[in-house]
Amino acid sequence: MEIRGINMKKDNLKRLGMLSLVVMMISSFFSGLVLNVEATSVPKSFTAKSEKTLDGYIANYHFGKKINSKGGYVYCNDLHKGTPHGEKMTLVGEAPAGVAYILENGYPSKNITGNSDYDYYITQSAVWWYLDDTTGSSNLSNSFKTNGSDPKGLRKYIKKLVSEAKKVKDYSTPSLTVNSKSSTMKLSSDKKYYESNDISVTGKNLTGKYTVTLDGAPQGTQIVSSSASSEASSFANNESFKIRIPVEKAQSLKTSITVNVKSKATTYKAYEYKSSDTSVQNVYGKALYPTNTTLSGKTTLSLSTSKVSITKIDSKTKAGLAGAEFTLYDNSGKKITSWTSTTKAHVIQNLPNGTYTLKETKAPAGYKISKEETKFTISDTNRDITLKIENTALTKLVNIVKIDKSTGQPLAGAHLVVKNEQGEVIADFVSTEQPYTIKDLKDGKYSVYEVEAPSGYKKNEATYYFTISDGNTVASVTVENEKEGEVVEVPNTGSNDSVIPGVIGSIALLSGVGFAYKHGKKQK
């Protein structure tokens, strides 16, 4: 049960009402202003005295109507002790929460019968009865509680107060809860905003207005009253509000919006006082005193706008590809975002309605760039889009040809081996008259060598090398063989050192021939 209300004289109530009015007026001018109002101090002591004696309205029970020097009424807790009158009463501590409930709902906080004396009598009797039932005291007789005379008809009011008070086990702990039916903001009917559902605040002991602030909201986000659709930052406890984002601002929302709510809460407590004279009853004085706290709560909102999932894949294997660079443009050509693909889908959220163009600016390593632009449209009925952009792998291969060195004709029967940079054999084959092709090569440096020559040919002892890269996707290697026993002409190396002796030898030969010819002619 919530414990609220302040037991004070009518003039104090009037002053409190005027203060509340002033606070409300100030709040209307300074939206979102939080006023830190200190709690009323609990007096350490006061003097109690009787105002008048109330005649026995029930079963001939008479007792005094008591007041204190601080203002307000006080109530005794032990009927078997003397009534305080002029004694100084000092603070003991908090009264039971059930007593506080009786004081909150009794006189003078509440008008029970319209007669102040009757209402005080009801309240005091309820305090004693409650203590009888909860602490084992015996303030009131059984006849008072059941069938004793009740000419004013007050017993029923007492019983009701006691019954409700016994349900209150402890002072109500202040609480605040932010309520929203959904965390998803949806497009408004006029398509101008993304709006939340109505958000309300409930709790215990909340007082005054609560304030609302936002974290993570795009510029231009509004906090509006659910009823008036007018912007505000503070609301009464019975008011609800909405969060709305202009459509053109929604794309700048990175993840979600956190809605923060703060409110003051007040717990009213009753306090017990005692006299130095142990023969005098303890009393509960000035009924209720407030204790103020600040409570906070929050909720998180996300947009139900759009979700575009983009995956870069191999055209054959359909596996995800990393390393492709993309740029997204809106319908006006304005750049929206850029990213580099991974093997997983890249997700773009919160795009407003419109047509978009996706361009690939760089292909993954080993793949041809996709020159086609991809267009997609987000509308009220098309908000979840999945795109898979394919890339075709670059054809990276080598053609190995075995030929006769002299004729240039293809040779079959040569045993060849191809290795990669790591020395791993990637091909081991016997040549035919057709080129031997190795496809789907990875970037790197490779070697080719002959293990066994074709029949009738000398083994080629040389090692041939080739490199594969995105800039050199097709390589060719020609391995030559010489026939066994083949006379090989001395190649003309182009050196002057080889030309001069030949010329000299030719001249000498010709001279010898000439000499022999002349000599023979003379002898004839």
Q: What is the largest CA-CA distance in the chain?
A: 191
Q: How confident is the model at residue 30 (pLDDT cuts 50, 70, 90)?
A: very low
Task: Answer yes or no: is pLDDT of 231 > 80.
Answer: yes
Higher pLDDT, 256 or 158: 158
Average pLDDT over residues 37-41: 50
User: pLDDT by residue (tens digit) across 335-344?
Assistant: 999 999 999 9
* Nearest Cα residue to 398 out of 465, 462, 450: 465
Residue at 243: amino acid letter: I
- Written out in words, the top-level CATH class of the domain with range 397-481 is mainly beta
Do the domains at 307-391 and 397-481 have one common CATH topology?
Answer: yes
Distance CA 83, CA 74 (A): 11
Residue 365 pLDDT grade (very low, low, confident, very high; cuts 50, 70, 90)? confident
CATH architecture group of domain 175-268+294-303 = Sandwich (2.60)
Q: What is the pLDDT of residue 258?
A: 96
Of 270, 255, 197, 260, the closest CA to residue 234 belongs to: 260
Token pair 């309300």 is found at 200
What is residue 287's predicted lDDT score, i.e. its pLDDT? 59
Q: What is the mean pLDDT of residues 346-351?
A: 86
Mean pLDDT, rounded, of the chain? 83
What does the buried/exposed string (b/e) look like for 13-28 if buried means 16 or more CB atoms within 10 Å of the residue's CB? Answer: eeeeeeeeeeeeeebe
Residue 298 CA, distance from chain mean position = 13
Residues 6+ apart with CB under 8 A from 173: 204, 267
What pLDDT does 486 receive? 64
- The residue ranking higher by pLDDT, 250 or 490, is 250
CA angle at 51 for the pair 47 and 55, rounded to the nearest 5°? 135
Which residue, among 445, 442, 99, has the nearest Cα to 282 in the 3D structure?
Answer: 99
Secondary structure letter of residue 231 according to DSSP: B
Cα 171 to Cα 101, 110, 166, 263, 282: the distances in Å are: 9, 19, 12, 19, 21
**CA 374/CA 389 separation, integer angstroms:** 8
CA distance 76 to 189: 63
Domain layout of the chain by residue ranges: 10-172+272-279, 175-268+294-303, 307-391, 397-481
Q: Average pLDDT, stretch 235-250?
A: 90
Distance CA(350)–CA(301), nearest Å, equals 13
Cα–Cα distance between 466 and 261 in angstroms, integer?
70
Gap between the terminal Cα atoms of the chain: 159
Q: Are 223 and 243 in contact (CB under 8 A)?
A: yes
Q: Are 161 and 105 in contact, with CB atoms under 8 Å apart?
A: yes
pLDDT of the residue at 505: 41
Residue 155 reports pLDDT greater than 60 = yes
Give the model's pLDDT for residue 446. Answer: 97
Report H helices in 200-294: 247-250
Count of all residues that appear for the chain in the document: 524
Give me the residue label for tokens 């057709």: 434
CA distances from 305 to 98, 384, 425 (A): 52, 9, 55
pLDDT at residue 311 is higher than 80: yes
Q: Does the pLDDT at position 288 exceed 90? A: no
121-135, 194-208, 374-388, 403-417: range with lowest mean pLDDT = 374-388
Q: Indicate whether 506 pLDDT > 60.
A: no
Question: Which residues, in sequence order, are CB contacts of 60 under 8 Å at separation 6+?
Answer: 148, 149
Query: In angstroms, rounded to a whole number, what is the distance separating the alpha carbons of residues 28 and 22?
Result: 10
CATH class of 307-391: mainly beta
Are 479 and 454 in contact by the 8 Å Cβ rule? The answer is: no
pLDDT of residue 470: 86
The percentage of the chain sitting over the pLDDT mark of 70, rounded to a whole number, equals 84
Per-position DSSP letters for 68-126, written without gaps between them: ETTSSEEEES-TTSBPPSSEEEEEEEEPPHHHHHHHHHSTTTS-SSS-HHHHHHHHHHH
- pLDDT over 80 (residue 286): no
Of 39-53, 194-208, 494-508, the one with minimum mean pLDDT is: 494-508
